[in-house]
Amino acid sequence: MERYDLAVIGGGTAGLVSAAVSAGIGARTALVEQHRLGGECLWTGCVPSKAIIRSAAVLHTLRRAADFGIEVDGGRADFRRVMERVHAVIRQIEPHDSPERFRGMGVDVVEGRARFVSPGEAEVGGRRIRSKRWILATGSRTAIPQIAGLEEAGYLTHETLWDLRALPESMLVLGAGPIGIEMAQAFARLGSRVTVVSAAEQVLHREDPEIAAVLRRQLEREGITLHLGTRATAVRVEDGQKVITIRTKTGEMEIRAAVILVATGRKPNVEEMGLDAIGVESTDKGVTVDAALRTSASNVWAAGDVAGPYRFTHVADYQARIAAPNALFPLRRKVDYRVVPWCTYTEPEVARVGLTEAEARDEWGDKAGVFRYGHDSLDRALCDGEPEGLTKLVLDPKGRIAGAHVVGPRAGETIHEAVLAVRHRLKLSDLSGMIHIYPTYPESLKRAADAFLRAKYSGGLARRVADLAVRWLV
């Protein structure tokens, strides 16, 4: 029977990082994965989605070539070649997460599904693995809504989408979150007729409404039909098409589509692992953990989607770097979710860190500050032909940056300056005083900060300075 200092169950981002950290400090480490290392991010999530988004963006730029003084004839997607490129990119990145690489680090990679038989033992494909400590990193999967006829009609998820080799003539997307909206725009640009149905009242419901509205206008300009505040109630197949009944605020209607993409949220992978037998508590949101990522079992920790509350690759990486040392040493470092940034990779991109305006108003009322800068005045955006963006900064009563929201090109890069500002509780004057490279998109943060300073000093202080100047001149 193999014995380890730490055994990690799950080979996605959280599991890979946990195993690498453990082996890197000399602990005898096992990594158990039932399918293939790399997890959702490599095979069905971040990597393939960003690859297809890039192909769609290139085609969209070609169609806009005349706006930049360039004459290009036609421009269409060869969908099979697009998908071949997607899988080629996966193969390029795959070695980073390969069993060979992790075995080279000293990790014992074990293939199979793990089920606990005792607090210190798990069975994996007929083998028994014994470990002093465990980290659960089993991830999550698409939560399938209960809609009459959906199972019988058939549907795609972000896991099966990549098996397509022919572009669907039409697609109905259930869900207006990041996955649904990213894929809706990509497939619309590649040539599908796309409709989005969501119970939420806005696209990207976790974003500031003012920011989300900018993206919504762009999606509608690109021909995507949005049915928000709407629920799908039934699906049937008729003449080879899927017919979806939706209930709106004014009644019912039917929509026809060649395929349905389900992107209605996530469900943690906690089943059939024997967690109850070892005292690990879980809910429909995932495994219950404390601030040190320890579960209700004293020798078991959890990281990544299965632990939540944020289901992002970068948060899984962050949690793993806390869970692994905590499991091996009496450190008890705690997670800090006060400053968690994220980005949705539509065009324009949507990035956020910290509080929205509504959240700040709830906390501080009128003492919260909000300053905006439209990209229609941003020189770089005008040079690029991308004037529709917006940068929005939220302040606490002391003028410190409590939130930042950007919709526009490269928002995912621009936001990092704001992440640092929120984390270290910097004031807007700190951003305004920085030298920013010209012309760049992060200048929008500086311009929003300038707006704050103009508002601050255009009142009584400015009048006093002017009065003193007049007296001196006289």
Mean pLDDT of 458-467: 49
Locate 291 and state its tokens.
């601030």
Query: Binning pLDDT at 50, 70 and 90, where does residue 451 land?
Result: confident
Same domain, 131 and 277: yes
Same domain, 323 and 285: yes
* pLDDT tens string 246-297: 999 889 999 999 999 999 999 999 999 999 989 999 999 999 999 999 999 9
Structure confidence at residue 75 (pLDDT):
83
Q: Which residues pair with 404 in a beta bridge?
A: 353, 393
* pLDDT tens string 318-338: 999 999 999 999 989 999 999
Distance between CA atoms of residues 224 and 222, nearest Å: 6
Exposure letters 382-417 (e unless 16+ CB within 10 A, then b):
eebebebbbbbbbbbeebbbbbbbbbbbbbbebbeb
Same domain, 208 and 243: yes
Same domain, 260 and 212: yes
Closest CA to 230 of 257, 206, 253: 253
Structure confidence at residue 429 (pLDDT):
86
DSSP β-ladder status, 127-136 and 2-9: parallel
Query: Binning pLDDT at 50, 70 and 90, where does residue 34 land?
Result: very high
Distance between CA atoms of residues 193 and 257, nearest Å: 8
* pLDDT tens string 115-124: 999 999 999 9
Domain boundary among 304, 328, 352: 328
Structure confidence at residue 431 (pLDDT):
86
> Residue 467: pLDDT above 60?
no
* pLDDT tens string 393-421: 999 999 999 999 999 999 999 999 999 99
Q: Which amino acid is at 140?
A: S
Instruction: Give the CA angle between residues 431, 376, 66 to the nearest 5°.
Output: 130
Is residue 468 in some structural domain? no
Domain boundary among 238, 265, 292: 265
Q: Is 60 exposed, middle or buried (0-12, 13-18, 19+ CB in 10 A)?
A: middle
Structure confidence at residue 472 (pLDDT):
44
> Residue 55: pLDDT above 50?
yes
Residue 139, SS3? coil
Q: Which residues pair with 352 in a beta bridge?
A: 342, 405
Query: Binning pLDDT at 50, 70 and 90, where does residue 135 land?
Result: very high
> Residue 16: pLDDT above 90?
yes
Same domain, 157 and 247: yes
**CATH at 305:** 3.50.50.60
Is residue 122 in some structural domain? yes
Same domain, 6 and 129: yes
How many Cα atoms within 13 Å fall on the side-chain side of residue 8?
Answer: 35
The pTM for the full model equals 0.93
| DSSP label of 277 | G
Question: Residue 137: which residues within 8 A CB-CB, separation 6 or more?
Answer: 8, 9, 10, 11, 12, 14, 15, 18, 302, 303, 304, 306, 316, 320
> Residue 46: pLDDT above 80?
yes
Domain boundary among 225, 249, 265: 265
Is residue 66 in some structural domain? no
Query: Binning pLDDT at 50, 70 and 90, where does residue 469 land?
Result: very low
Structure confidence at residue 126 (pLDDT):
86
Q: Which of 223-227, 311-315, 375-379, 470-474 is predicted least confidently?
A: 470-474
> Residue 470: pLDDT above 60?
no
Same domain, 321 and 430: no
> Residue 22: pLDDT above 80?
yes
pLDDT above 90 covers a percentage of the chain that reads 89
Is residue 113 in some structural domain? yes
Same domain, 185 and 230: yes
Mean pLDDT of 199-227: 97
Print the domain residue range for 362: 342-457
Is residue 87 in some structural domain? no
* pLDDT tens string 373-384: 999 999 999 999
Is residue 237 in some structural domain? yes
Structure confidence at residue 428 (pLDDT):
87
Distance between CA atoms of residues 63 and 347, nearest Å: 15
Is residue 162 in some structural domain? yes
Distance between CA atoms of residues 422 and 394, nearest Å: 10
Number of domains in the chain: 3
Same domain, 324 and 408: no
Same domain, 136 and 201: no
